[in-house]
Amino acid sequence: MAIALRKAAEIEKLRRAGAVVGKTLEYLQAEVKPGMSLKEIDAMGEEFLRNLGAEPSFKGLYGFPAAVCTSVNEVVIHGVPTDYRVKEGDILGLDIGSRLEGYYGDAAITMAVGEISEADEELIACSKDALYTAIEEIREGMRFKELSAILEDFIISRGFVPLRDYCGHGIGTKPHDEPNIPNYLEGKAKQGPKIKRGMVFCIEPMVCHKSGNPVLLEDGWSVVSEDGLNASHYEHQVAIVDGRAEILTLP
């Protein structure tokens, strides 16, 4: 399947959809406090996003029941909001999607709830720094597999491992599109499609401690590592403009 090349007007629409996500994540990061339930956090995020004129694109997507993925501690991605109340020392992944004027936005952060351990600070920093390092290194003409190699090398250099079987993705008039972008290299870096002007995609390093092998929990959504240890996830949506990657999901 061909990877879409977006015109400037489309990228602006994607930027508006992305900004809604960025603002909602910024709002939640400032407002989440110990004692709040995951369902309350989800409701806060949905209300804020809708007040910005967008729809929560995750709600009902593939049957997901909420607007915000709320992934606590060992849950890497796709955590379902429950009555669990976050407490001091937890780490909380927030992943949000938007739909605005027929175009989609998607981004994620992992945040500290109050004071957290130094080990968790290093874990969160790995996923965040891997994301921004990869974005800085993207150039038009490089291959997506080279991008995957950059992500994997960075994560391993910090003493962690990437989650397997889940990946970044294209985005546009669908929430998930070609290409898939793993956080690890499969095959050779100099193979596969090249990054071209006008492409829009999400990069999302998912970082585990010892094992990248995923385990799906009984809720059918939440993904943890088989090592059972805390994990971290960061994501931005980018467009290739003037040869470089430009972040679309800034507040």
Q: What is the pTM of this model?
A: 0.96
In a domain, 201, yes or no: yes
Output the tens digit of pLDDT for each of the chain's 251 residues: 689 999 999 999 999 999 999 999 999 999 999 999 999 999 999 999 999 999 999 999 999 999 999 999 999 999 999 999 999 999 999 999 999 999 999 999 999 999 999 999 999 999 999 999 999 999 999 999 999 999 999 999 999 999 999 999 999 999 999 999 999 999 999 999 999 999 999 999 999 999 999 999 999 999 999 999 999 999 999 999 999 999 999 99
Q: How far is CA 98 from CA 6, 12, 104, 115, 143, in A?
A: 18, 15, 5, 30, 28
- pLDDT at residue 1 in the model: 63
What is the span of the domain harbouring residue 71?
Answer: 8-245
In a domain, 24, yes or no: yes
What single string gives the DSSP state of each residue in 4-68? P---HHHHHHHHHHHHHHHHHHHHHHHH--TT-BHHHHHHHHHHHHHHTT-EETTTTGGG---SE
- pLDDT at residue 231 in the model: 98
Structural domains of the chain, count = 1
In a domain, 189, yes or no: yes
- pLDDT at residue 55 in the model: 98
Let me know: does 38 contact 70? Beta carbons within 8 Å: yes
In a domain, 1, yes or no: no
161-162, strands of its sheet edge to edge: 161-162, 206-208, 232-233
- pLDDT at residue 185 in the model: 97
Q: How far is CA 125 from CA 154, 215, 245, 250, in A?
A: 11, 23, 21, 18
Query: Locate tokens 């002007």: which residue?
Result: 197
In a domain, 251, yes or no: no
In a domain, 3, yes or no: no
In a domain, 250, yes or no: no
Phi, psi (degrees; rounded to nearest 5) at 19: -60, -35
The CATH number given to whatever domain includes residue 163 is: 3.90.230.10
In a domain, 120, yes or no: yes
Phi, psi (degrees; rounded to nearest 5) at 105: -120, 155
Let me know: does 24 contact 100? Beta carbons within 8 Å: no
Phi, psi (degrees; rounded to nearest 5) at 169: -165, 160
Query: Locate tokens 């993904």: which residue?
Result: 223
